[in-house]
Amino acid sequence: MSRLLEKSIEMADNVLSKYDHWKTECTLNFMDVDYVLFGSYIRHNTKFNEVGMRVSAINATMTFHARELKRNNVPFVNDGGVIQLTNGAGAMITVTDEIATRVYSVAHVTPDETLGIIVCELQLKNNNKITVMP
């Protein structure tokens, strides 16, 4: 592996998992085990439908680095080398933001294997009920 690529992978890990201004703590429940992880959390409150009209959509993304998952011994890759956080594995992510604690299911995963970045597309599961922070 080239030195430039290794440095890029290391920087992606640092930005997503270690630098305080980007990382967000969350709990990943996967295969009935809770893992406390750091990643980048973004909540999306609006979306456009197929004809361009704004519709309400409460979804989010949580982006992890593969090294963060490995450091915490998350068995996220199956024997075939495929990321298995979806496809019936039932991965759930609980994250607390400035307003509330929210529970999401991992609906889709988009990996960038070159840099080790894994974007998890999340769907709100606690029925739009949020626990308001004091």
Task: Say what percent of the chain tops pLDDT 90.
Answer: 42
Domain chopping of the chain, boundaries = 3-132
Please give the Cα distance from 41 to 19 (Å, whole number): 13
Two structure tokens written together for 88 = 């019936």
Residue 26, judged by CB atoms within 10 A of its CB (0-12, 13-18, 19+), counts as: buried
Q: What is the mean pLDDT of the chain?
A: 84
Please give the Cα distance from 120 to 50 (Å, whole number): 22
Residue 119: pLDDT above 90?
A: yes
Query: Per-residue pLDDT tens for 35-86?
Result: 999 999 988 766 676 677 776 666 889 999 999 999 999 999 988 888 888 7
pTM for the predicted model, two decimal places: 0.80
